[in-house]
Amino acid sequence: MIQFEDFSFRYKSSEAFALQGISMTIENGAFVGIIGNSGAGKSTLTYTLSGIIPHHFDGDFYGSVKVNGLDTVEVKPEKLAQFVGEVFQDIDSQMVSSIVEDEILFGMENFGVPHDEIGRRLDSVLDMLGIRDLKDRQISSLSGGQKQKVAIAAILAMDPEIIVLDEPTGELDPASSIMIFDILRRLNREFGKTVIVVEQKIMLLCEYVDRLLVMDAGKIVFDGRSEEIVQQVPLFKNLGINVPRVVELGQQLTAAGLYHGAIPLDLDQAEKMVKEVLADAGV
Amino acid sequence: MLAFEHVHFEYPETPPIIPDLSFTIGDGDFVALIGSNGAGKSTVSRLANGLLLPTSGKVLLDGADTRTTRTSAIARKVGFLFQNPDRQICQNTVREELAFGLKVQGVPEEEVKARTEEALRDFSLDGDWFPFTRSRGERQRIALASVLICRPKMVILDEPTTGLDYKECIAIMDYITRLNRETGLTVLMVSHDMELVQQYAKRVLVLTNGQLQGDGPVTEIMKDLSILEKAHVRPAQIPALALRFGDRFKDVYTVDEMAAALKAAAKKGGAPA
Amino acid sequence: MNLLQYQPGESFLHKLNPVTKLLAVFLYCVACIISDSIFVELGLIFLMLIICFFAGLGKRALSLTKNLLILGGMMFILQLLFVRTGTPLLKIGSLCIFTTGGVFSALLLSCRIIATMLPMMLLFAITQMTDLCGAMVKRLHIPYRYAFIVTTAFRFVPLFTSEFHDIEDAQKARGVEYDTKNIFKKIGLVVPLVVPLLMSSLKKVDAGAMSAEVRGFNLRTVRSGYRDYPFAAGDGVCIALTVVLIIISALL
């Protein structure tokens, strides 16, 4: 469980606060999506969870952040890593090895996981992500989607309860993006991991996550179930955040008095809505 | 005008990336090049401005073969915005960065000054910023400004909105669209975001395995689900929704058009509003 | 860069313990250095080529030899011009160009260079850098921190090379004339290449450090490596054979 209590942070070199007055709780087993414009503080928030703030970046730290009851200020990042694993935004720079297997072993070797246990976990994460055939490949020869899977596997091998990802699909094509979110869903549902993901593609978030956080200028301006975004279209528009086209359509039809049901989030729901409108019109 | 004539491209000892590709892009067009990762989009965009040269076949820019034209001469005509702006930003201030491209092209001092100030205003940039520590969106805007300040006839955008939020992405695309309409700037945009393509492009080229699977007006390609599927791209929502109703919403591509069509249907049907 | 790249394989050479490979290469080089006979040097080059051929590395070894020949040739000319022992062989007026002693020592030196460089470079063809460092940590108890720095440096070389090419493309695309013939102009054009490379390297290194830190880099101990790198009978045989080589080359 993660608890933020009136947390604010300002980077050493900067005048403005990167995060301001954050108070929230993330329960175990949640699938949380974070969206917001660049500079809204999304990456800073992920750094806070993995203890990189305040241990790697200096600055003014107010309030408290607790992971499983441990205060991140008092606990070193390597201790925190037993509970929280973070996949960083830049896929290439976070790799520490040239071969897939070594990359996955790195964390486990460092933490002194017993030999048999390492072998077992290695097998299990290779299967979990379906990358057994990539085991001996050079990382530089992999596609973006494959690299992202390796990065996730390397974090999962340390067996954290919470996995944090910063724009994992930023440089991927739509097919690979969906593949990554399918994996995150499995990790969440089948393996009970808490997943916290920063993502710009609103449609993926609507489809996959249970809880959505919208950030703006260092604050959380919306915190609710992803279905609730349909009531927040004006807020999203105001912030310049994209909403799915079908949501926009639903809004317009509701405003025109043609439709009275729930606003659709995906194509199937939209098809139902249009059918209803047409039926009402007697077509 | 950009013309690919039976272009074949391969690196030594590997299977060809582009087996045989031919198409032309007329002046003032707004073309989107779509396809999955590894389809050859980046190769095509680099062939188009002479960064790569065809193994056989020809790439012609206004009739001039890229193999016999210096890249610096091509650069005057064709601007190129890379996915990652950090590869081009190399000066201490945004002002110097914008002026740099003009200076290497030998534009007189006075004009460099005037055009730099103009571009700073157009892109709402501060000339005194230290470019390297700005946000990704701002860096992309700086890179775009330093490309467009050279007033190319054509601009190639290699997934220009990667790493940008929606707001920044719209700002950049709106600006390019305005130039396309007002000055006849030719645009070739590599992208796999179909919502973006649908919103901005006039014509779409679909690439899979280095081959052209489809080439047509955006309205046509948007409703050809089999082509989009082959290219592994996710169709834009409203055209896909319209398709589910056969011919009923034949000319519907945007939210507004769909809403208008349904309002018209309701009126005609005499249903209570 | 290609010359130092790992070439995957299952040959008897590949299967040796990385520490054995390193030691054997060292001993082979000692054999090359202590010998004063051109024939022994030629024999050692030939022997190395034969070993490589049987290990499926024949093509690689030949192309390496070809590259080393250029280096050997250059050393040959230098040595020829500077060594002044023996009787003059070529004279222009009273100026002696080269001597018998010069020819002999130049031949010996260039053969020796090829004979020593060949196995060293082949070491990279049959050993993954990570295995070499892993084995050195496990077997020779070299501190992990140093081994990690070495592997990381090797890993970064191709990354930076490709980054450099991308930056060059980006600058070319905006009209920077790298195809200019003017040397002074060319030197001035280094800034647009070096500055972005420096900036991206700094970012990469910092991101890498952060990633290693949260994955417990600072907790690492000698014993925590997963792979064991045990020695086998073949390792002993290999070392014994190279020792025999040294004795032979010392005697001949």
- Among B residues 7-66, those touching chain C with beta carbons less than 8 Å apart: 46, 49, 51
Closest chain A C-alpha to C173 CA, distance in angstroms: 22
Residue C3 pLDDT level (bands cut at 50, 70, 90): low
Model pLDDT for residues C26-79, shown as the tens digit of each residue: 999 999 999 888 899 999 999 999 998 888 888 888 888 988 899 888 888 888
The domains of chain C are located at 2-127+230-251, 135-220
Closest chain A C-alpha to C227 CA, distance in angstroms: 9
- Among A residues 52-81, those touching chain C with beta carbons less than 8 Å apart: 52, 55-56, 77-78, 80-81
Decide if B83 contacts B161 (C-beta within 8 A). Answer: no
The domains of chain B are located at 2-91+128-218
> Which chains lie within 8 Å of chain C at 3 or more CB pairs, if any?
A, B
Instruction: Tell me the chain C residues in contact with residue A106 when contact means C-beta distances shorter than 8 Å.
Output: 212, 215
Cα distance between residue B76 and residue B107, in whole Å: 11
Q: Under an 8 A CB cutoff, do A173 and B37 touch?
A: yes
Residue C177 pLDDT level (bands cut at 50, 70, 90): confident
Model pLDDT for residues A131-171, shown as the tens digit of each residue: 999 999 989 888 888 999 999 999 999 999 999 999 999 88
In 3D space, the residue among C159, C58, C38 whose CA is nearest the CA of residue C104 turns out to be: C38
Model pLDDT for residues A21-35, shown as the tens digit of each residue: 999 999 999 999 999
Q: Under an 8 A CB cutoff, do B105 and C195 touch?
A: no
**Rg over CA atoms, chain B:** 21
Nearest CA in chain B to A41: B135
The per-residue pLDDT of chain A, averaged, comes to 91
Report pLDDT for B271: 47
Nearest CA in chain C to B98: C174
Cα distance between residue C115 and residue A192, in whole Å: 59
Report pLDDT for C138: 85
In 3D space, the residue among A233, A232, A196, A266 whose CA is nearest the CA of residue A43 turns out to be: A196
Q: Is A83 on the interface with C (CB under 8 A)?
A: no
- Among A residues 114-143, those touching chain C with beta carbons less than 8 Å apart: 115, 118-119, 140
Sheet holding B64-65, edge to edge: B18-25, B2-9, B56-61, B64-65
Residue C150 pLDDT level (bands cut at 50, 70, 90): confident
Q: Is B135 on the interface with C (CB under 8 A)?
A: no
Cis preceding linkage at B152, omega within 30: no
> Which chains lie within 8 Å of chain B at 3 or more CB pairs, if any?
A, C
Q: How many helices (H) and strands (E) does chain C have?
A: 10, 2
Instruction: Tell me the chain C residues in contact with residue B46 when contact means C-beta distances shorter than 8 Å.
Output: 169
Per-residue tens of pLDDT for chain A, all 283 residues: 999 999 999 998 888 899 999 999 999 999 999 999 888 899 999 999 998 988 888 899 999 999 999 999 999 888 888 899 999 988 888 999 889 999 999 999 998 899 899 999 999 999 988 899 999 998 988 888 899 999 999 999 999 999 999 999 988 888 889 999 999 999 999 999 999 999 988 888 988 999 999 999 999 999 999 888 878 888 888 888 888 899 999 989 999 999 998 888 889 999 999 999 999 888 7
**In the numeric block, which tokens belong to residue B1?**
């005008």
Instruction: Tell me the chain B residues in contact with residue C177 when contact means C-beta distances shorter than 8 Å.
Output: 70, 72, 104
The domains of chain A are located at 244-283
ipTM of the complex: 0.85
> By three-state DSSP, how is residue B184 classified?
coil
Report yes or no on whether pTM surpasses 0.90: no
Closest chain B C-alpha to A78 CA, distance in angstroms: 28
Instruction: Tell me the chain C residues in contact with residue A48 when contact means C-beta distances shorter than 8 Å.
Output: none
Q: What angle do CA A144, C172, B97 make, to 5 degrees?
A: 95
Instruction: Tell me the chain C residues in contact with residue B49 when contact means C-beta distances shorter than 8 Å.
Output: 173
Which of C128, C155, C214 has the CB atom closest to A77's CB atom?
C214
Residue C2 pLDDT level (bands cut at 50, 70, 90): low
Q: Under an 8 A CB cutoff, do B270 and A282 touch?
A: yes
Distances (CA, A) of A19 to A16, A197, C227: 9, 17, 43
In 3D space, the residue among C173, C218, C232, C171 whose CA is nearest the CA of residue C197 turns out to be: C171
Which of B75, B86, B91 has the CB atom closest to C173's CB atom?
B75
Instruction: Tell me the chain B residues in contact with residue A241 when contact means C-beta distances shorter than 8 Å.
Output: 165-167
State residue C89 phi and psi, 5-degree precision: -105, -35
Q: What angle do CA A100, A103, A109 make, to 5 degrees?
A: 135
Report pLDDT for B270: 59
- Which of A143, A245, A246 should be substituted to probe chain B, the one whose Cβ sees the most B Cβ atoms within 10 Å? A245
Q: Under an 8 A CB cutoff, do A97 and C204 touch?
A: no
The CATH code for residues B2-91+128-218 is: 3.40.50.300
Instruction: Tell me the chain B residues in contact with residue A39 when contact means C-beta distances shorter than 8 Å.
Output: 135, 137
Per-residue tens of pLDDT for chain B, all 273 residues: 999 999 999 988 788 999 999 999 999 999 999 988 788 898 999 999 999 999 999 999 999 999 999 888 899 899 999 888 888 899 999 999 999 989 888 889 999 999 999 999 988 899 999 998 888 888 988 999 999 999 999 999 998 888 788 888 888 899 999 999 999 999 999 988 888 999 999 999 999 999 999 999 999 999 898 998 888 888 899 999 999 998 899 889 999 999 999 999 888 875 444
